[in-house]
Amino acid sequence: MNEQGEYWRDLRTVLAVAEAGSLSAAARNLGISHATVFRHINQIEEKLAAKLFERGRDGYSLTAAGERLAALTGRFDQDLVGLERQILGQELEPAGLVRITTTDTLLINFLSPILVALQKRFPEIELEIDCSNEIVNLNRRDADIALRPSKEAGDNMIGRRLSDIAMAVYCHKSYAQQHLEDRVPEGSLAGSSGRSPAGLKDVPRDVPLTVPLAVLQQQVWVGPGEKLFYLPLARWLREKGLQPSVRTRHNSLLAVADAVRAGAGLAILPCFMADEDSSLLRLAGPLPELTGELWLLTHPDLRSVGRIRACMDFLAGELVQRRSLLEGQ
């Protein structure tokens, strides 16, 4: 045992003698011999150059110096026992700064309530959110956790693929009433024997229409700008002959969705964003060729950090519960 360990052992021996009132009783409580207790008391008195006990026929009683030392030792011992109990019982809550990067679309339409729940669950964690469509470099530690729509985890990152991200064609219900009311064939309502007599305005928002490609090609479209370039979407628009119909382009999916809500035309939107908006109408089921993936990632060096692991586990649990929405089901 090193010198510090011996010192703490002797302090506990002092506390045991003070509580028991005798060497023999303290020895029994500590599970050591009477001689060992006597030696420990002599050692600490010698180190401190102070008399800690008065020896009498009735046992050992503390001196003024001994009372102060026993009181301090008792408080420290209680704190140490409490800390051990917390650690063994896993009662210590994670704390500190956690930086999360994600896209504006995921954050504003989907993730914000989950982050509020995360803060309530771990009130000692401070969150810093980087809301950007640019890929933040976790290798440079620009962020601790990334929630990304991607087809792969990324170099040297660890984490898990949480779900697919479905995409589909949407428009505002008012646009559908003006431009599609008489152009959607009978029986085109999925899961229905025919179109609602009251028209498209009464179509349930969770029931997609199956609109013929020829009709889609004759509509006005809202598309992505250069900064929001997504090769599979550009290819899909081109292959379907829809590229010439794109009259407005935006560098943010939030802006694309806002334009669609204003009646600007049709657009491809994530189902988790548009299916929750009762003003929008899905014109077809999710498009497999545009399906993305949602990844929750961190740097390998951070995987054992308590606050990072706690946030990763919480986010994964919450997001997996919402998989049906993410996958457009």
User: What domains are there in the chain, each with its CATH number?
Assistant: 3-88 (1.10.10.10), 96-164+292-326 (3.40.190.10), 167-290 (3.40.190.10)
**For the chain, how far is it from start to end, CA to CA, in angstroms?**
64
Highest mean pLDDT among 185-189, 211-215, 317-321: 317-321
In DSSP notation, 182-242 reads TTSPTT-BTTSSS--TT-GGGS-TTS-B---HHHHHTS-EEEE-GGG--HHHHHHHHHTT-
pLDDT class of 18 with cuts at 50, 70, 90: confident
Predicted local distance difference test score (pLDDT) of residue 99: 92
Question: Which residues make Cβ contacts (< 8 Å) with residue 37, sequence separation at least 6?
Answer: 13, 16, 17, 23, 26, 27, 30
pLDDT at residue number 153? 60
Query: What would the mean pLDDT of 131-160 be, rounded to a whole number?
Result: 71
DSSP letter assigned to residue 266: B
Percentage, residues of the chain above pLDDT 70: 80
Q: Which of 4-8, 65-69, 245-249, 254-258 has the lowest mean pLDDT?
A: 4-8
The mean per-residue pLDDT over the stretch 182-193 comes to 43
**Segment 209-236, tens digit of pLDDT:** 677 888 888 999 998 887 766 778 888 8
Spatial distance between the Cα atoms of 4 and 280, rounded to a whole number of angstroms: 70
d(CA 9, CA 73) in angstroms, rounded, equals 11
Judging by DSSP bridges, how do beta strands 59-62 and 267-270 pair with one another?
Answer: unpaired
- Over residues 141-162, the mean pLDDT reads 78
pLDDT at 209 (0 to 100) = 61
- How many C-beta neighbours within 10 Å does residue 66 have? 23
Write down the mean pLDDT value for the chain: 81
The SS3 call for residue 11 is helix
For tokens 């026929």, what's the residue?
Answer: 57
Question: How far is it, in rounded angstroms, from Cα 203 to Cα 174?
Answer: 12
Tell me how far apart the alpha carbons of residues 117 and 315 are, in angstroms, rounded to a whole number: 10
Let me know: does 50 contact 44? Beta carbons within 8 Å. no
Q: What pLDDT shows up at residue 136?
A: 52
**DSSP secondary structure code for residue 244 in this structure:** G
Q: Is there a contact between 96 and 123 (Cβ–Cβ < 8 Å)?
A: no
Q: What is the per-residue pLDDT across 255-303, written as a single tens digit (0 to 9) for each?
A: 999 999 999 999 999 999 999 888 999 988 899 888 999 999 988 888 7
- Distance separating alpha carbons of residues 135 and 153, to the nearest angstrom: 12
Q: Please name the amino acid found at residue 47.
A: K
Average pLDDT on 171-181 reads: 87
